[in-house]
C-alpha cells in the first residue's frame, strides 16, 4: 500500500468507524455468533498472493463486526465499563503512525517525556501526592498494559526489596496477601512468579472490606509458622461489589512490618478520585499516607481506549533495582548521566507502546471538568438505578451501591414460605437468580449484565460508565430486567416447591 492508497483506505476507515458509532444502538450488545463461526469462515492459511485492500476492509465489516461484543454500546452494563472516546482512538492512530518501541529515552524522547507529563497530570487529577509524581525524582508514574501486569511488576519489586532486607528469607516461604474479594490479578501474579497467595477472609458486616485486625491476626499466624508475607494487595472498588478495604487500618498494622509492600488496586474505581467528593469514600488520604504503589485503569471508566493502566510508586528505585536491564547496546549517555527516565526498567517487557498520547488527547480535550462530569454522570445514573431497585418489592440490593456499580438480586416470590436466611432459602434464591441471569442472557442482544457470587449468594451486577449510556438506557434496562423476572418467576414457581 502506498501513501495515496493509504489516504483513500484511511478516509474510508474513518467513515466506516463513524457509521459504526452512529448505528451502535441498533446492534445487538453481545455478539450473536456461534463458537467456531470465524474459524469456519476463514481459510486455514494466509493467502499465497496479496489481496486487494478493498476486499480485506470489507471483510472486517462482513466477518469481524458480527463477532464483536459492543463494549461501547449504551446498554452494556456487564463486567466494568470501557469508556473509550474518539480522542483516545485518534491518539492510538497517531501512536501507531510513528510505530516505535520507545524502550529508552533516546529511542523517542517525546514518548518518555509525554508519559512523565501525563502521569503527573493524572496524579494531580486524582489527588495523589507529590511523592507519587515524576517531578519528585523519587517516586513516579508509568503506564502499564493492564492492572494485572502492573501487579506482577510490583510483586517483582516488592520481592526483591524484601529479600534484600531479609536475606534469610526463602523464596518458597514468601506469600502474597490478598482478600477473597481481590481481583484474580492476585492469583495470576502468584502463578506467574511461583509464589503462594493467601486470600484473607472478609466479612459481610464490613461490606467485604479488609480490616486491620484481621490482617494483623493473619500476619502473626503466618510469621509463627515461618511464612513470609511480603506484599499486601488492598482494593478500592472490588470487582464483585465495589468494596473498599480499610486502608488506614491496614497502613497502621503494616507500620510494624516495614519490609512488607503495600499496594492499592483501584483499577476500576480509582478514576473517580478525580472528583473531590469521592475522595473520602475512596480513602485518598490513606493512599497518600501509606500506600507504596497505586493503580487505576484509564481504560475502564477513564475515557481512554484499552489499553492504558496507570501505576504510581513512591520509590522508583524499587522498580529499577528489581528490573534494570541495560546491556551495552542499550546504554545511552543520557542514561549514564542520570538525566533521563528509561521506562523499560519500570515494566515487564523491553519495548512499550506509546500510550501517553491518547491519555494526553483525552485530558486536554475533556479538561479536568469534563473528566469529572463523566464520572459524576455515571454515579448519578447509578443513583437512579438504585432508586428503581428500591422501588420494586421483588428485588433487593445486596450491598451498598458503590459509585457506578450496584449489586442486587431477586427476592423469593411472595408466595414462598422459605426464609431467605435458611439453607433452603439461600439455595432457592440462588437458583432463582441464576435462572434470571440465564433468562437475561437470552435477551443479551438488548442488554448485557453479569452475575457474581458474594459469600455464597448469587447476585447480579449492574455496572454503569460507558460513555454513551444515558438515563433512558438505564430505564429501559430496568424494564427489561423486571419483565424477564416476571416471566421467569412464573415458570420457576410452577417447577419448584416454594
Ligand atoms: C478490572 C480490574 C482488574 C484487572 O484489570 P486488568 O487491567 O484487566 O488487568 C483488577 N482489579 C480490579 C479491582 C479491577 O476492577
Do 265 and 182 contact (CB within 8 A), yes or no? yes
Which residue CA neighbors atom 14 of ligand 1 most closely? 267
- The pLDDT tens digits for 141-173 are 999 999 999 999 999 999 999 999 999 999 999
pLDDT of 488 > 90? The answer is: no
- The pLDDT tens digits for 354-365 are 999 999 999 999
Torsional sign, CA 131, 232, 397, 404:
positive
Nine cell digits for residue 120:
503527573
pLDDT of 85 > 70? The answer is: yes
Nine cell digits for residue 236:
478500592
pLDDT band at residue 497 under the 50/70/90 scheme: low
The full set of domain ranges for the chain reads 3-68, 100-354, 369-496
The mean pLDDT value for 397-411 works out to: 96
Torsional sign, CA 241, 245, 246, 248:
negative
The mean pLDDT value for 419-440 works out to: 92
Do 346 and 153 contact (CB within 8 A), yes or no? yes
Write down how long the chain is.
Answer: 498
Rounded to whole angstroms, how far apart are CA atoms 46 and 66? 22
pLDDT of residue 186: 97
Which residue CA neighbors atom 4 of ligand 1 most closely? 147
Pocket test for ligand 1, best of 183, 242, 305 (most atoms within 8 A of CB): 183
DSSP letter assigned to residue 457: E
Among residues of the chain, what percentage have pLDDT more than 70?
Answer: 100
Q: What's the 152 CA to ligand 1 centre distance in angstroms?
A: 13
Whose CA is closest to 299, among 85, 109, 125?
A: 85
Q: What's the 88 CA to ligand 1 centre distance in angstroms?
A: 20
Nine cell digits for residue 414:
411472595
Which residue CA neighbors atom 2 of ligand 1 most closely? 267
pTM above 0.85?
yes
Pocket test for ligand 1, best of 210, 238, 239, 241 (most atoms within 8 A of CB): 239
Q: Which residue has the higher pLDDT, 222 or 339?
A: 222
- The pLDDT tens digits for 98-146 are 999 989 999 999 999 999 999 999 999 999 999 999 999 999 999 999 9
Query: Is 369-496 in CATH node 3.30.1360.200?
Result: no
Asked if 100-354 and 369-496 have one fold, the answer is no
Pocket test for ligand 1, best of 268, 299, 305 (most atoms within 8 A of CB): 268
pLDDT band at residue 455 under the 50/70/90 scheme: confident
79 CA: nearest ligand 1 atom: 1
Do 261 and 417 contact (CB within 8 A), yes or no? no
Do 299 and 305 contact (CB within 8 A), yes or no? yes
Q: Which fold has domain 100-354?
A: 3.40.640
pLDDT of residue 442: 87
State the DSSP string of 366-417.
Answer: HHHHHHHHHHHHHHHHHHHHHHHHHH-TTEEESS--BTTEEEEEEPPPTT--
pLDDT of residue 325: 84
Rounded to whole angstroms, how far apart are CA atoms 489 and 428? 12
Rounded to whole angstroms, how far apart are CA atoms 54 and 58? 6
Q: Which residues does a 6 A CB cutoff place in the pocket of ligand 1?
A: 80, 146-148, 183, 185, 235, 237-239, 265, 267-268, 297, 309
Query: Is 3-68 in CATH node 3.40.366.10?
Result: no
Amino acid at each position: 500500500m502506498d501513501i495515496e492508497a493509504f489516504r483513500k483506505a484511511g478516509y474510508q476507515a474513518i467513515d466506516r468507524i463513524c457509521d459504526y458509532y452512529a448505528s451502535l444502538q441498533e446492534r445487538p450488545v453481545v455478539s450473536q455468533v456461534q463458537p467456531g463461526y470465524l474459524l469456519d469462515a476463514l481459510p486455514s492459511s494466509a493467502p499465497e498472493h496479496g489481496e486487494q485492500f478493498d476486499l480485506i476492509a470489507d471483510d472486517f465489516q462482513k466477518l469481524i463486526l458480527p463477532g464483536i461484543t459492543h463494549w461501547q454500546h449504551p446498554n452494556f452494563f456487564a463486567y466494568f465499563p470501557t469508556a473509550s472516546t474518539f480522542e483516545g482512538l485518534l491518539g492510538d492512530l497517531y501512536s501507531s503512525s510513528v510505530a516505535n518501541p520507545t524502550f529508552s529515552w533516546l529511542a523517542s524522547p517525546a514518548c518518555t517525556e509525554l508519559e512523565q507529563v501525563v502521569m503527573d497530570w493524572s496524579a494531580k487529577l486524582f489527588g495523589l501526592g507529590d511523592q507519587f509524581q515524576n517531578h519528585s525524582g523519587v517516586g513516579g508514574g508509568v503506564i502499564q498494559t493492564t492492572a494485572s501486569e502492573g501487579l506482577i511488576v510490583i510483586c517483582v519489586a516488592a520481592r526483591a526489596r524484601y529479600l534484600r532486607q531479609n536475606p534469610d528469607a526463602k523464596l518458597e516461604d514468601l506469600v502474597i496477601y490478598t482478600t477473597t474479594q481481590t481481583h484474580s490479578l492476585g492469583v495470576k501474579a502468584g502463578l506467574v512468579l511461583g509464589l503462594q497467595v493467601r486470600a484473607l477472609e472478609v466479612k459481610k458486616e464490613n461490606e467485604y472490606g479488609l480490616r486491620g485486625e484481621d490482617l494483623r491476626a493473619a500476619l502473626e499466624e503466618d510469621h509463627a509458622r515461618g511464612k513470609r508475607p511480603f506484599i499486601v494487595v488492598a482494593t478500592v472498588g472490588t470487582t464483585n461489589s465495589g468494596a473498599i478495604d480499610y486502608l488506614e487500618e491496614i497502613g497502621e498494622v503494616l507500620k510494624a512490618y516495614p519490609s512488607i509492600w503495600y499496594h492499592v488496586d483501584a483499577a476500576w474505581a480509582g478514576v473517580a478520585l478525580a472528583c473531590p467528593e469521592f475522595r473520602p469514600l475512596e480513602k485518598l488520604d490513606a493512599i497518600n499516607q501509606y500506600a507504596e504503589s497505586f493503580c487505576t485503569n484509564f481504560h475502564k471508566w477513564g475515557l481512554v481506549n484499552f489499553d492504558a493502566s496507570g501505576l504510581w510508586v513512591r520509590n522508583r528505585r524499587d522498580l529499577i533495582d528489581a528490573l534494570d536491564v541495560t546491556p551495552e547496546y542499550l546504554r545511552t549517555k543520557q542514561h549514564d548521566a542520570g538525566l533521563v527516565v528509561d521506562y523499560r526498567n519500570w515494566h515487564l517487557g523491553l519495548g512499550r507502546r506509546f500510550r501517553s498520547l491518547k491519555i494526553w488527547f483525552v485530558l486536554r480535550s475533556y479538561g479536568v471538568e469534563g473528566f469529572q462530569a463523566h464520572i459524576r454522570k455515571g454515579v448519578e445514573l447509578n443513583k437512579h438505578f438504585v432508586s428503581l431497585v428500591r422501588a420494586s418489592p421483588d428485588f433487593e440490593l445486596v450491598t451498598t451501591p458503590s459509585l457506578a456499580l450496584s449489586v442486587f438480586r431477586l427476592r423469593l416470590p411472595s408466595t414462598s414460605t422459605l426464609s431467605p436466611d435458611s439453607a433452603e432459602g439461600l439455595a432457592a434464591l440462588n437458583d432463582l437468580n441464576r435462572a434470571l441471569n440465564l433468562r437475561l442472557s437470552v435477551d443479551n442482544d438488548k442488554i448485557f449484565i453479569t452475575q457474581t457470587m458474594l459469600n455464597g449468594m448469587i447476585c447480579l451486577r449492574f455496572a454503569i460508565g460507558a460513555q454513551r449510556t444515558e438515563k433512558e438506557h438505564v430505564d429501559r434496562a430496568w424494564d427489561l430486567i423486571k419483565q424477564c423476572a416476571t416471566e421467569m418467576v412464573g415458570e420457576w414457581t410452577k417447577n419448584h416447591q416454594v
